[in-house]
A and B are shown apart, each in its own frame.
Chain A
């Protein structure tokens, strides 16, 4: 399989600070690729460089086999995190404009509009002004604007954020539909559940550097089977003081425990303290892995705050 996107040692600095630092990445054609990372870690900058909206300071970017990503422009569509829609335009005018800017004829664009509007559950809004639409509707219109030109590569920045479950599902189905038509889809998200369920491969960027890249399986394997899910009569309280416990993620009814010792020894200690209803040795969730990587930063920040407070 060829790669739709290849980044080779790409660096982008803003005012001397590297937003993206010697990043290398390959996105296989026809895959769904998830970008995750905390806010400000460089996701959007990377997506913008892939879109040729920003130019890298160092390194090369190849999109759909072309070094000059401008040449591939008509085959690539982008949906920015914020709306990216003209408030005063009607939906029809906007979709036609965006479609034609991608080099499609008016007839092609109109045919695509006729296909996508009912699929996205947007009947009768074609001649309404964008500003009269609800957030969910506008987000779906924005998605149609991105796919109307039948792109080979679809780049979506936080496509599901702020959507109700029904609309989120409509949009997820549409993304899968694009993949089944052969398009490569790259999207960024803060929702680890979505990334786990939808993505063939997941990439995590943290402080401008790549910290994870691979299938969910590979990533979880890398982080080992040191996680146990437990449900006990005593709840989270009984876990404190058990020597094998490294950290606890408390969900109320259920605790996800990361261990630094033998699971069987942990079970022995736990059952001595409380009735155990559930005990499952598992692999860490993406959420857990994300938090493990990103948390030290929060800890450092808290320490720094304390220091400045003490000073």
Chain B
């Protein structure tokens, strides 16, 4: 046991001195912060370029409204971070439809206009099925066609009401939609008074759980793969031979795993403390509870044991970094499963997909954690089942890695294949 701790201590000291650790520690929050910032920027202020577009109003009823609404919108467009929309009327008179379309298409190609819109003559007729046509060579830009559709429809509706002799002001008053506010449940506070739940905050409901999961991912990717590098270095420099002359291979491996766990704990502690500080500062002190932090650490230990064992086994089976990178791919894919599927879990945390994925031992540290963090959380039996499966898997992973480690560590020459590794596990 003492020797395991000596190995763990050395491994920890080496890992925290490694560039990967320092880069993760400093750069990761910077990158995360920057990406959040960029996402916000791009979401809020997508594009403020002027969008000049032609329209052919064959109904003769909509164009005026289009221009009026655009003018009102353009007055505040700059301050709202929106693009200016500038409709230009084009008369269809004197040309065939196709000639007109070709002429306008050429103007779009020459960048004189951004797009053009055709409004059919019978647009106001409720029985007509004709459609507004939007022509553009920017199919992905949705802001303009969306605005055209809404605005033309407003004009069409008010025209229809006017034709039916209904006062548009009355229509507006009668069709005003009721707002919906999302509120949490009522609760009885310490003094016994019944208290209204707080308004549901998207950041707390989704942001905190998602951040927890991302943090788990960062901590694991920063610690577990380092164990592979450590084993490869020892193997390539024949350090393993010296070490195995002093400690049993299993003690050596356990020491490394514990070192990896300690490093991930340190990283998690630093990030959790930082996040808690920020949460407190921004008034979200209750968003991250001690229970949540405890779950986080438990899942983290399991994840490092499972993935760390896999990486150690690969390191022991390979003879150079290139081979090990090939072997790492399947393990990395396992680690990526939660990245690809967490959206599905977020949308339906109680669904079958979420249940199955969060029971999968390699995905559970991420996805069960996410489900626990999402209110109201999964039933206790599911959590206990996933923890049991993870404990069993980590014991099995450590055991199998121990057997691969013992055989592979001193093997020089060519790297082992997956089938050889399986044979080592079987034969011991």
Contact = CB atoms under 8 A, between A and B. Distances in A.
Contacts of A103: 2-3
B10 interface: yes
Interface string A269-288: 00000000000000000000
Given A48-B410, A80-B241, A87-B237, A101 B246 contact: yes
Contacts of A76: 245
B242 A70 contact: no
A102 interface: yes
24 contacts: A48-B410, A52-B245, A54-B410, A73-B246, A74-B246, A76-B245, A77-B245, A78-B242, A84-B239, A85-B237, A86-B233, A86-B237, A87-B233, A88-B14, A88-B17, A93-B10, A97-B6, A97-B10, A101-B6, A101-B246, A102-B246, A103-B2, A103-B3, A145-B242
Contacts of B410: 48, 53-54
Nearest to B410: A53
A51 interface: yes
B206 to A, nearest CB: 42
Interface in A27-74: 48, 51-54, 70, 73-74
A84 B241 contact: yes
A119 interface: no
A48 B409 CA distance: 13
A85 B246 CA distance: 14
A100 interface: yes
Contacts of A101: 3, 6-7, 243, 246-247
B10 A51 contact: no
A81 B412 CA distance: 14
A145 B246 CA distance: 12
Interface residues of B, number: 22
B245 A53 contact: yes
A88 B10 CA distance: 12
Interface in B231-264: 233-234, 237-239, 241-248
A165 B237 CA distance: 25
Contacts of B2: 103
Contacts of B233: 86-87
Interface in B202-247: 233-234, 237-239, 241-247
B13 interface: yes
Contacts of A54: 410
A53 B244 contact: yes
Interface string B1-26: 01100110010011001000000000
Contacts of B17: 88
B245 A78 contact: yes
A293 B184 CA distance: 90
A298 interface: no
Minimum-distance CB pairs A-B, first 4? A101-B246, A78-B245, A82-B238, A84-B242
Interface in B351-395: none
Interface of A: 48, 51-54, 70, 73-74, 76-89, 93, 97-98, 100-103, 145
B235 to A, nearest CB: 11
A80 B14 contact: no
A145 B243 CA distance: 11
A48 B241 contact: yes
Contacts of B239: 84-86
Interface in B117-158: none
A98 B7 CA distance: 10
A80 B246 contact: no
Contacts of A145: 242
A89 B14 contact: yes
A74 B239 CA distance: 17
A98 B242 contact: yes
A95 to B, nearest CB: 12
A100 B9 CA distance: 11
Nearest to A81: B238
Contacts of A83: 237-238
A89 to B, nearest CB: 7
B241 A53 contact: yes
Contacts of B247: 73, 101
Contacts of B241: 48, 51, 53, 78, 80, 84
A303 B6 CA distance: 55
A309 to B, nearest CB: 28
A88 B242 CA distance: 17
Query: B10, B239, B243, B245 — which one has the most chain A CB atoms within 10 A of its CB?
Result: B245
Given A84-B237, A97-B10, 18 more contacts: A48-B241, A51-B241, A51-B244, A52-B244, A73-B245, A73-B246, A80-B242, A83-B238, A85-B237, A86-B237, A88-B14, A97-B6, A98-B242, A98-B246, A101-B6, A101-B7, A101-B246, A102-B246
A9 B334 CA distance: 48
A258 B47 CA distance: 95
Interface in B1-56: 2-3, 6-7, 10, 13-14, 17
A201 B410 CA distance: 29
A141 to B, nearest CB: 12
Nearest to B409: A53
A84 to B, nearest CB: 4
Contacts of A89: 14
Interface in B323-357: none
